[in-house]
Chain A
């Protein structure tokens, strides 16, 4: 399909068009940028670096009702994801889209997760290329991503100043392009070349990196290494690094009983950094301190996941570094892993 352009003075109209679907876009709440459902195009905030909370919550909500139950009534009222309808996530960064394609492998592995997969099927991802790396700690290029990366996306927009260059990447993207056709114009041929130059420039600006070669194989050999104690010493055991990670996908399932004999079974994000994570009913915890929990976080992303799915479960978005209250830095940990003997 031909490359198109969307003039910025048509941006609001285009977003208005998309509100006939469930439209999710970055929006500002005070100074914090969060993806949320918008009904008014004016709410969308596209001049952003990256969102604080990744858009993974759209396909993997932080709290999700699986079904409801009632005393004396054997019928379970199951939730139907389809009722949420067709969804468009507009303006997410390429790293966050790539993260979804990584997590897809887990949710469609030994058991096909109906909730997640249905949402993924119903969702079209419209990416916004990074003309500038959104943060000083971006390292997507070390993990096979890039500021103009397309993996996982259905459509990619690149900000060219007074307009966006629009490229459909999948069938879903082409359908969306048709929906938007009244607001799009043909892009001049030289635009693509210009975008390629911008992509190379953005890539060149990424300041941090790690050579991941050999890390997945090496990690299991460092099980009792002293580095884990050192890198976890300052850890507070909060959930920032995992909750804000676009590839972290652990969840817990709990029953919540309400008044009047009603209740629900819900699943909710869990974090391997919490002390009750994997706490056994016996009181035993195989990961009793933050040393084991930090080791698990790094090993899961950089060893267990690639062993099973042939891809590292990290996209280099830098959120876990930017927002850690005590400056625990995954790149420093990985460097220590590389150097360890």
Chain B
């Protein structure tokens, strides 16, 4: 686990650099075990920074989410770098964004966090529902240790670990300027057992399953907005004239939205699981993304977000690509 003092020391050096304007990391949340994104612009703010298994957000999203107002006449745009803290899975978002030429590598400073897994905050809050005062989560061996209100509780790692971490192939960031700790060995692999289960169902069963999930969707677009790969400046969903997708909420439009989203992420989703984490009505979006992910790996021997030099999947063609699935 990253030592907080070392993390702050490195962050202080980075934010003190003349060519860095902002550092994006984590800080304590407002209640319970929550952590939240921190936006540091001066060395004085560095002491807020933390890293713990509660730091679930994928901060790579913020590199493309920033809204910039037009620069007033006579002023120069601020072209200084943005530094960002990333776990293994989050670093894959950077790799994929750079593969797609979302920005230049030189624009960012990457502080890599070798990660031993983060918690599923829903599981934590279900288990400890009434913790208001700020609590802490650390990992000790194979147990999460939760400290709050002068109490200390130990829970086996397996019970609170986020599902995505149970199949993590890349715990150590794949891209970084500085690594904040010793690299972590791969501790899990993805056998796609969940996808295989879903694939066994008949088309009718699948439709009934997804109809129930999609009918709950309120189209808050949190799944799109949190996704580090959903960064089009002009999103088809926001277009009003012509309107490609209706704002009205019904099973037909909801389904169209989620299918369109899943297809836009085929060969691009890097499995950070943020879309499913944030969904207020608990739609299991990663099941869709993982089906595509598995197909892409099997059909094209391609894993998105693992090689910044490689072209994006949809920009490649190999003469020996399998074609047996084409009707």
Q: Which residues of A contact B (CB under 8 A)?
A: 29-32, 34, 52-53, 62-63, 136-137, 207-208, 230, 233-234, 236-240, 243-244, 252, 254, 256, 266, 268-271, 274-276, 288-290, 321, 323, 325-329, 331-332
Contacts and interface: CB of A to CB of B under 8 A. Distances in A.
Contacts of B31: 136-137, 208, 321, 329
Is chain B's binding surface mostly helix, strand, loop or mixed?
loop
Of the candidates A31, A52, A289, A325, the one having the most CB atoms from chain B within 10 angstroms of its own CB is A325
B39 A234 contact: yes
B174 to A, nearest CB: 24
Contacts of A208: 31, 132
A275 B30 contact: no
5 contacts: A34-B216, A63-B247, A63-B248, A136-B132, A289-B69
Contacts of B226: 236, 238, 325
Nearest to A208: B132
A325 to B, nearest CB: 4
Contact of A62 (B213, B218, B238, B281): B218
B243 interface: yes
Given A208-B132, A326-B57, A238 B225 contact: yes
Contacts of A34: 216, 281
B246 interface: yes
B177 interface: no
A269 B32 CA distance: 32
Contact of B222 (A207, A240, A256): A240
Contacts of A252: 247
Contact of B247 (A240, A254, A331): A254
A256 B245 CA distance: 10
Contacts of A270: 247
Given A63-B249, A63-B250, A256-B246, A331 B277 contact: no
A266 B246 CA distance: 11
B112 interface: no
B37 interface: yes
Contacts of A29: 212, 215-216, 281
B43 interface: no
Nearest to B66: A289
B124 to A, nearest CB: 12
Given A62-B218, A238-B225, A327 B29 contact: yes
B290 interface: no
A266 B243 CA distance: 14
B289 interface: no
Nearest to A290: B67
A136 B249 contact: no
B243 A53 contact: no
B280 interface: yes
A159 B209 CA distance: 34
A331 B36 CA distance: 15
B222 A236 contact: yes
Given A234-B37, A326-B36, A136 B130 contact: yes
Contacts of B190: none
A52 B221 CA distance: 16
B153 to A, nearest CB: 17
Contacts of A31: 282
A323 B37 contact: no
Given A136-B129, A240-B222, A276-B238, A32 B36 contact: no
A51 to B, nearest CB: 11
B222 A32 contact: no
Nearest to B282: A32
B30 A268 contact: no
Contact of B32 (A136, A256, A328): A136
Of the candidates B29, B57, B215, B221, the one having the most CB atoms from chain A within 10 angstroms of its own CB is B221
Nearest to B29: A327
User: Which 3 pairs, one residue from A and one from B, show the smallest C-beta to C-beta distance?
Assistant: A238-B222, A325-B278, A327-B36
